[in-house]
Amino acid sequence: MEYPFFSEKDSVDVVNGRMADDINPRLKEVMTSLIKHLHAFAKDINLTQAEWEFAIDFLTRTGQICTKERQEFILLSDALGFSMLVDAINNRRPEGATENTVFGPFHVEGAPELPMGSKITLDGKGDTCLFEGRVLDLEGNPIAGARIDVWSDNSDGYYDVQQPDIQPKWNNRGVFVTGDDGRYSFIGIKPVSYPIPDDGPVGQMLAALGRHPYRPAHMHFMVVADGYQKLVTHTFVGEDKYITSDAVFGVKHSLVAPFEKLDGGEAQWRSEYDFVLVKNK
């Protein structure tokens, strides 16, 4: 029989050769690469039958722990640096533009739009912090009408949606729209570090790898303006003990923001950060 049956050596060609010619060309490209890398992985390390069985069970448990409120496969992607990689691939920007980072699972659509300077922290917990700065284009011109959606955890390390019975609705969330000066300002808290959910398969994996589940303190920003690429990012508290070991690899050097202690005034801290957007192509 002339047909090339399966063999260890030809495994990639045999599997990829089975795809029909008339399928979606992008699907073909993605699957061809997936098979190539998946098979190379098993060959590189001589994956054992027992390791394969463990992987099948791990993936099954990861799928079965997912609910409407919990997405363990996203967590897995995050913990393997895969989410950050996909984010980086899809948001390559010129020097000077603000860098993206992962969106995270805690954004909520529909947060109240508030006047500049408003206080978004509603539970009275934690150190207050004045966040302010400008939304600019690459030439340094202010962008008017930029919509800035912000969210953070409270000082106990939980987002409002994680504690719907404890925290006020929209605690540490708000939307601000810039005027002609491109400026924004609001009072939140100086955010605190918190662990990603670590009571499932991903937590077990992190423990086995000798990694902790913590994310360094950060404030989330999503900035959208007509004619510009959407920016999804955080600013980070540089002094955080987890700043160099974010469980999801979200930190970039340029996203570490200043947090300065204030003497009196309406907030205890101040963090100034300008967002620089890139025009749509």
Size of the site for a copy of itself (CB under 8 A): 78
Neighbours of 2 (CB within 10 A): 3
Say what angle helices 72-79 and 82-90 make with each other, to 10 degrees.
80
> Looking at 28-36, 152-160, 189-197, 217-225, which segment touches a copy of itself (CB under 8 A)?
28-36
- Rounded to a whole number of angstroms, the minimum distance from the CB of residue 245 to a copy of itself is 7
- By CB under 8 A, tell whether 21 contacts a copy of itself: yes
- Rounded to a whole number of angstroms, the minimum distance from the CB of residue 125 to a copy of itself is 29
Distance CA 218, CA 9 (A): 48
- Stretch 152-191 residues interacting with a copy of itself (CB under 8 A): none
- Stretch 44-63 residues interacting with a copy of itself (CB under 8 A): 44-49, 51-52, 56, 59-63
Applying CB under 8 A, among 23, 108, 166, 262 the residue interacting with a copy of itself is 23
The 8 Å CB, 24+ separation contacts for 238-242 are: 240/193, 240/216, 241/193, 241/216, 242/193, 242/212, 242/214, 242/215, 242/216
- Stretch 214-253 residues interacting with a copy of itself (CB under 8 A): 238, 243-245, 249-253
Contact between 177 and 50 under an 8 Å Cβ cutoff? The reply is no
C-alpha closest to that of 148 among 111, 123, 193: 111
Task: Find all residues with CB under 8 Å of 28, minimum gap 6, and list them.
Answer: 19
Print the binding letters for residues 191-210 with a copy of itself: x by CB under 8 A, - otherwise. Answer: -----------------xxx
- Rounded to a whole number of angstroms, the minimum distance from the CB of residue 64 to a copy of itself is 5
CA distances from 138 to 91, 93, 117, 121, 232 (A): 15, 11, 25, 31, 17
- Rounded to a whole number of angstroms, the minimum distance from the CB of residue 268 to a copy of itself is 24
- Stretch 92-111 residues interacting with a copy of itself (CB under 8 A): 92
157: left (phi over 0), alpha (psi -120 to 50) or beta: left
Applying CB under 8 A, among 25, 68, 69, 90 the residue interacting with a copy of itself is 90
Q: Which is nearer to a copy of itself, 107 or 119 (CB)?
A: 107
**Kind of pairing between the strands at 231-237 and 256-257:** parallel
- By CB under 8 A, tell whether 69 contacts a copy of itself: no
Q: Which is nearer to a copy of itself, 90 or 264 (CB)?
A: 90
- By CB under 8 A, tell whether 137 contacts a copy of itself: no
Residue 16's SS3 state is helix
- Rounded to a whole number of angstroms, the minimum distance from the CB of residue 45 to a copy of itself is 5
- By CB under 8 A, tell whether 34 contacts a copy of itself: yes
Give percent helix, percent strand, percent coil of the chain, each to the nearest 5: 25, 20, 50
- Rounded to a whole number of angstroms, the minimum distance from the CB of residue 229 to a copy of itself is 13
Residue 132's SS3 state is strand
